[in-house]
Amino acid sequence: MNPDKNGSHGDDFPFYNDKPVAFSPRQWLLLVILVFAGFAVLITPLPLFATPSGQFIPAILFFAIPLLYLARIAPNRWREIFRPISFNHLKWMLGIGLLNVLVSVLIGFMVVRLFGANPNQAMAQLSDMSNLERVLFYLKTLPQLFGEEVFTILPFLALMYIFYSHCHLSRTRSMILAWVITAVMFGLAHLPTYGWNILQCLLVIGTARLVLSLAYLKTKSIWVSTGAHIINDWILFSVTLFLGISPPS
């Protein structure tokens, strides 16, 4: 048995190789469509979503829409993307989160010097918020950042399925291609946030996504990549709030 082609069944990514359950191409397509449907809900400005409690609705629907369908097509195994967290996983969570802060800041300043960059308006407005608004802002990021991990990982698995099962690439090549493509996709999804600055989104956000995805690639647990993402963003938010410095990411 070729371990590269077949993977380690005990510690491998789920679904891409029809294990532990097989999805049809139609099911994979619908799953990815629902991932983007959740994203569309997140970025659609409705009056209901502008209220203090209503702002949590799109953040929750962002991940709930695709996960509900995943639970439907894999009723007993949809939790495969939620591997239990060990102490070693916590170390990966913290390490990747801190590494991403460093990478984001370094590449961000390089992009500012070479090409110019646009601020994240949500981060820029933190200093003008009341204490209650800041608490709600931080709390809202929890479901939203989890949703961003779902937005990345489910398409990652879908792409691995395409490359591995239909293009007959090795597991390693399938993983690398899916890793890079989803990072580009994640960067492009941030275009409205950063004034449609494509270089900033690809170089800063895309690179940050490559680093964050390492947490999932290593542990196979969306909890770990979500934790790393929260550590990264909360540090950057807090730097903006307490030091009055707006990181270029």
Tally the domains of the chain.
1
pLDDT computed for residue 247 by the predictor: 57
What is the domain extent for residue 167? 8-243
Structural domain contains residue 145: yes
Nearest to 227 by CA among 71, 107, 85, 70: 85
Structural domain contains residue 153: yes
pLDDT computed for residue 145 by the predictor: 98
Q: Which residues of the chain are under the pLDDT cut of 50?
A: 1-9
CB-CB contact of 141 with 234 (8 Å): yes
In tens, the pLDDT along 105-120 reads 999 999 999 988 888 7
Structural domain contains residue 193: yes
Task: Return d(Cα 112, Cα 127) in angstroms, integer.
Answer: 22
Structural domain contains residue 40: yes
Structural domain contains residue 2: no
Structural domain contains residue 64: yes
Structural domain contains residue 1: no
In tens, the pLDDT along 154-195 reads 999 999 999 999 999 999 999 999 999 999 999 999 999 898
Q: Where are the alpha helices (DSSP H) in the chain?
A: 3-6, 25-43, 56-73, 87-114, 121-124, 131-161, 171-189, 198-200, 206-219, 222-243
pLDDT computed for residue 11 by the predictor: 86
CB-CB contact of 94 with 234 (8 Å): no
pLDDT computed for residue 4 by the predictor: 41
